[in-house]
A and B are shown apart, each in its own frame.
Chain A
Amino acid sequence: MTQSIVVQVGQCGNQVGCRFWDLALREHANVNKMGEYDEALGSFFRNVDSRNRACGVGGRIQHLKARAVLVDMEEGVVNEILQGPLGEVFDSTQLLTDVAVGHMTYGSCYWEQIVDTLRKAAEHCDCLQCFFLIHSMGGGTGSGLGTRVLSLLEEEFPEVCRIVTSVYPSAEDDVITSPYNSVLAMKELTEHADCVIPVENQSLVDIVSKIKHMSDGGMPGRVIKRDSTIISGEGGLSGAEKPFDAMNNIVANLLLNITSSARFEGSLNMDLNEIAMNLVPFPRLHYLVPSLTPLYTLADVSIPTRRLDQMFSDAFSKDHQLFRCDPKNSLYLACALMVRGNVQVSDLRRNIERLRPSLPFVSWNQEGWKTGLCSVPPVGHSHALLALANNTCVKSRFMELRESFTKLYRKKAHLHHYLNVEGMEQRSFSEALNSLSSLIEEYDHLDATKGKLMRDAARLSIAR
């Protein structure tokens, strides 16, 4: 089996990452009752004895160490993690904290140290398949250092797939320079990631408040389990819940589902390197909108098939998207359905046939579906679905971002903070803006083909 390494950068990245490890342990504990270190665990955890020597697959679990690299500029969050109940799954060699303003300074100073740590983590893998980078777009560390680490990964490990989970700030973000940070980071993401899974703070807030509202309000006729596993960490190591935990748990669940096929068996495996291969037709257009179901109705399985089909429909509805957009009314370039739990190939085929007519696909990819079936469902569910859509709907959010960037940039507001940093020039700003504009343009071109009847391309003809 192959292994993956999670690189978590900045406060947001580390908090989400921390939830991921907690829930991943909970998930494996639920499946692996014998306490044996199996290949599934090996994909994201190492097993070491008390002297920190690696133990092979097949033995008993001794000390599990996460295949993770934690990067932050201040020690606060990381220290908190280390002192918390999850502290044991990380060891000091995986941490980088004494770093000082983002992409330029930190990157250059601690370059070698970061490379060293990444290499060490990679050496522990016998077949490293994928890096999962988690960071936020708004703050300085996540966006600046996070994307610097990304280009570093490309340089050092060109053959290893890079999947980035980026948390986009809400429109009214308290960091005033967040449009700058986001647009500068977007250029790096567009150029150096294999795929980016954008997640939006506002969508997470909406989902959490809707779930809380439903479980508190107790709407008649609906049964919602109070301990909705999507937002709660119950069963995990951490006891008391912190303010962002509910939101971070949703992102952690997203990561659990993406990696499920790499961790568990299934009748239709979807390898991690198949995600980009199937979903990214053009190298820069690699933003894959995630939607997660079930979110709101859980564990109540009175009408099985109806519930199952509902799950597929929900994945395409607006309020199940983790990014603020409306894929149904835009154009699909490709779509992946990653199903977990007790679902058959015939269920998949039926639902794709049912949903296909209502979803606009680009003319040359009318059958652009990729499917995966993993037999192990998330804890507390009988089945779950993660849809990843390469869809032009991301464009609208990117245009908003560009607008708030230009609002600041026109006045050159706060620009001096950035230009003070060595290596940072005003040119970087215009380049980042151009990169974003051309990305939006590429989506525009594809959107323009929507609804038009495209004739088949003229075929090569054979002279007789």
Chain B
Amino acid sequence: MSVVTVQLGQCGNQVAHQLFDTVCSDAQDGQRKTYCTASTERFFRRSSQGDLVARAVLIDMEPKVINHCMNEAAHSGRWSYGDTSHFSQKQGSGNNWANGYCVHGPRHKEVVEELVRREVERCDRLAGLMAMMSVAGGTGSGVGTFVTQGLRDIYPKSFILNHLTWPYETGEVIVQNYNSMLTLAHLYQLSDAILVHENDTVHRICSQLLNIKHISFSDINKLIAHQLGSVLQPALTADSHGGYSRNPLGELVCALACHPEYKLLSVCTIPQMPSASIAYSTFSWPALLKHLRQMLISNSKMEEGIDWQARPPAASERSRSLTGANTSLANLLILRGKDVYSAETGGFEDPGLYTPWLSSGEALNLWKSPVPFNKYEKSATVVSNSRALLRPLDHMVRKAWNMFASRAYIHQYVKFGISEEDFLDSFTSLEQVISSYSQLC
């Protein structure tokens, strides 16, 4: 089955472009025919000449980034974007969510939806839609939210996954907390699951684990694409009866988003190291999984500097606050590489990791693939629906609320049709989300 990707705004287009590149080079590396076929069907179609064309629609309100992506892809020699599957305008949304959501979105609704429909019709079987965007600026967040809403109306039964890039805390856009808040509050009603990457975290991984001195946006995008690829590439699941699973988005949503109040997903991957070091490193499943488990428990996205003191509470302990451990609603563990069937994953079944109202058997799902991913002989990824994003979400809402209390910048949104009431509604629904996640224990 196939996934149609909708890439929105500068960030969304850059990250998605990198994802296609990573997935394509991973699938074509080595001689794994079934893996390659499954991956290709998932992300690409064949042009009449037999070349790979990404199942993607590119949307931005200004032309520069899209032109760049199309050219880069065409010059890769491995894949390209469809000649007519992009849409751009001349003038950006000016960092204003309301401008994107109330003006640009509605104005170009039909063209954009037609592009997506054409791409969907080219799939033999549609697994779902993935919308990729940032939450800080105007186009990705505002137009992205509006487009997601339109897709939800047209495809009420399809899976829709949103991939969001969260800005640096001290960002390059002053109104980023407003834009993020409005985006999240709206998407929470529309999306099946929301997968988040924080720029700050990714930046730290680039600098500390990958040892990159002058970090560029391209380094950041590569890392996000690696983590996403490790989730979305073909794998064997419990229901797939020995073959590669058919619906990555559907099974991801089933595994992780089991309650409509909890939709925020975060990703941890291990190992991550400079590509030059990979050849000189050996990995063992017990060590990888031990680290990954502790990263999950202590809520750190890196295997370096993990808090080894944090532990899940024993059955006798009532209060969790003392142990400092993260609580998950559900986890999806994905293992890829050599000897994957010998890996012992019992550590992730510990009931202490989960809420009491869901048994650990239901809360943990396992995907495996014997094919090494993206040059790593063994790698493990956990996608987690847990309290991991509670803190950054709370920070964002706090800063936006402080600004809102002074009514600063509100007139810029009112100008395009977003009222103070709309802000209050969004704050209310996010406070509800925060409250739900805080109660997760």
Chain A residues with CB under 8 Å of chain B are 1-2, 126-127, 129, 265, 267-269, 271, 273-274, 276-283, 333-334, 344-346, 352, 363-365, 367-371, 456-457, 459-462, 464
Closest chain B residue to A276 by CB distance? B412
Contact A281 B170 (CB under 8 A): no
A464 touching B435, Cβ below 8 Å? yes
- In the bound complex, CA of A345 to CA of B199 (Å): 14
Chain B contact residues: over half helix, strand or loop, or mixed?
A: loop
Partner pick for A127 among B91, B172, B406, CB 8 A cutoff: B91
Which B residues touch A274, using CB under 8 A?
A: 92, 94-95, 173
- B residues in contact with A281, CB < 8 Å: 403, 406, 408-409
Name the CB-closest residue of A to B90: A127
Of all A-B residue pairs in the complex, the 6 with the closest CB atoms, nearest first, are: A273-B94, A457-B405, A281-B408, A127-B90, A462-B435, A278-B174
- Write the B389-413 contact mask toward A (1 if CB under 8 angstroms, else 0): 0000000011101111111110110
> Does the CB pair B170–A369 fall under 8 Å?
yes
What residues make up the interface of B, taking CB atoms closer than 8 Å to A?
A: 62, 64, 90-92, 94-96, 138, 169-175, 214-217, 397-399, 401-409, 411-412, 427-428, 431-432, 434-435, 439
Set of chain A residues within 8 Å of B92, measured between Cβ atoms = 271, 273-274
| A279 CA / B96 CA spacing, docked (Å) | 12
Instruction: Give the chain A neighbours of B406 by CB distance below 8 A.
Output: 281, 364
CA distance A164 to B237 in the complex (A): 62
Given contacts A273-B91, A274-B95, A277-B95, contact A456 B412 (CB under 8 A): no
Which residues of B lie under 8 Å from residue A283 when comparing CB positions? 411
- 9 inter-chain pairs at a CB distance below 8 angstroms, sorted by A residue, are A127-B90, A271-B94, A274-B95, A274-B173, A278-B174, A281-B403, A281-B408, A456-B398, A457-B404
Beta-carbon nearest neighbor of B412 in chain A:
A277
Contacts of B397 in A (CB 8 A): 459
**A268–B167 CA distance with the chains assembled, in angstroms:** 14
Residues of chain B within 8 A of A367, CB atoms compared: 169-171, 174, 399
Knowing A369-B170, A464-B435, the reply to whether A364 touches B412 (Cβ < 8 A) is no
Contact B402 A457 (CB under 8 A): yes
- In whole angstroms, what is the CA distance A274 to B172 when docked? 11
B387 to chain A, nearest CB (A): 16
Name A346's contact: one of B169, B214, B439 (CB within 8 Å): B214
Residue of A nearest to B137 (CB): A274
Q: A274-B95, A364-B406, A462-B434 are in contact. List 7 more A-B contacts (CB 8 A).
A: A273-B94, A280-B412, A352-B170, A363-B402, A367-B170, A369-B174, A459-B401
B431 touches which of A269, A273, A363, A462 (Cβ 8 Å): A462
* A1: chain B residues within 8 A (beta carbon): 90
Residues of A within 8 A of B403 (CB): 281, 364-365
The residue that A278 contacts in the complex, of B95, B217, B432, with Cβ under 8 A, is B95
Give the shortest distance, in Å, between B13 (CB) and chain A (any CB): 14
Given A268-B172, A456-B398, A459-B398, also A364-B408 (CB < 8 A): yes
Nearest-neighbor residue (CB-CB) of A356 within chain B? B170
Q: Which residues of A contact B428 (CB under 8 A)?
A: 460
**Which B residue's beta carbon lies closest to that of A352?**
B170
Distance between Cα atoms of A126 and B411 in the complex (Å): 28
Docked CA distance A370–B137 (Å)? 12
Q: A346, B90: Cβ atoms under 8 Å?
A: no
Distance in angstroms between the alpha carbons of A370 and B431 in the assembled complex: 28
Does the CB pair B398–A2 fall under 8 Å?
Answer: no
Q: Is the CB of A2 within 8 A of B91?
A: yes
Bound-state Cα–Cα, A352 to B170, Å: 10
Interface centre among B398, B403, B431 (most CB of A within 10 A): B403
- What is the minimal beta-carbon distance from B172 to any residue of chain A, in angstroms? 5
Chain A contacts of B169 at CB under 8 A? 367
Closest chain B residue, CB of each to CB of A459? B401
For residue A305, give the distance in angstroms from its CB to the closest CB of chain B.
13
Q: How far is the CA of A369 from the CA of B169 in the complex (A)?
A: 11
Evaluate contact between A461 and B96: CB separation under 8 angstroms. Answer: no
Q: Are A346 and B172 in contact (CB under 8 A)?
A: no
Q: A364-B405, A460-B428, A464-B435 are in contact. Are A344 and B214 (CB under 8 A)?
A: yes
Q: Min CB distance, B253 to chain A, in Å?
A: 25
Find out whether the CB atom of A129 lies under 8 angstroms from the CB atom of B402: no
In the assembled complex, which residues on chain A have CB atoms less than 8 Å from the CB atom of B171?
367
Distance in angstroms from A463 CB to nearest chain B CB is: 9
If A277-B96, A459-B431 touch, whether A282 touches B214 (CB-CB below 8 Å) is: no
Q: Which residues of B contact A368 (CB under 8 A)?
A: 174
Cα of A280 to Cα of B172 in the assembled complex, Å:
15
Most A CB within 10 A of own CB, among B174, B216, B407? B174
Contact B174 A334 (CB under 8 A): yes
Q: Please name the residue on chain B nearest to A278 by beta carbon.
A: B174
- How many angstroms between the C-alpha atoms of A363 and B428 in the bound complex? 23
Q: Which residues of chain A have C-beta atoms less than 8 A from B408's C-beta?
A: 281-282, 333, 364-365
List, in ascending order, chain B residues with CB within 8 A of A345's CB: 215-217
- Distance from A162 Cβ to chain B, minimum over Cβ atoms (Å): 14
Considering the complex, give the chain B residue whose CB is closest to the CB of A333.
B408
Contact A278–B175 (Cβ < 8 Å): yes
- Chain A nearest CB, measured from B65 CB (Å): 10
**C-alpha spacing A456/B406, complex, angstroms:** 11
Determine whether the beta carbon of A371 is less than 8 Å from that of B94. no
B residues in contact with A129, CB < 8 Å: 91
**Bound: A464/B431 CA distance, A:** 12
Q: In the bound complex, how far is the Cα of B96 from the Cα of A271, in angstroms?
A: 12
Residue of A whose beta carbon sits closest to that of B61: A271
Nearest residue (CB) in A for B89 is A127
Contact A370 B174 (CB under 8 A): yes
- Cα-based distance from A90 to B253 in the complex (angstroms): 62
Nearest residue, chain B, Cβ from A3? B90
Closest chain A residue to B176, Cβ basis: A367
Query: What is the CB-to-nearest-CB distance from A351 to chain B, in angstroms, rounded to a whole number?
Result: 12
How far apart are the CA atoms of A376 and B436 in the complex, in Å?
A: 49
Contact of A282 among B216, B411, B435 (CB under 8 A): B411
Bound CA–CA A271/B405 (angstroms): 28
CA distance A365 to B177 in the complex (A): 11
| A-side contacts of B174, CB under 8 Å | 278-279, 334, 365, 367-370
Q: How far is the CA of A333 from the CA of B403 in the complex (A)?
A: 11
Residues in A with CB closer than 8 Å to B412 are 276-277, 280
Bound: A259/B36 CA distance, A? 49
Residues of chain A within 8 A of B409, CB atoms compared:
277, 280-281
| A457→B406 CA distance, assembly (Å) | 9
User: Which residues from B are CB-within-8-Å of A457?
Assistant: 401-402, 404-405
CB nearest neighbor in B for A270:
B172
Tell whether, in the assembled complex, residue B427 and residue A460 are in contact, meaning their CB atoms are under 8 Å apart: yes
A269 to B61, CA, bound (A): 14
Residues of A within 8 A of B173 (CB): 274, 278, 370
Contact residues in B for A265 (Cβ distance below 8 Å): 64
Minimum C-beta distance from A170 to chain B (A)? 33
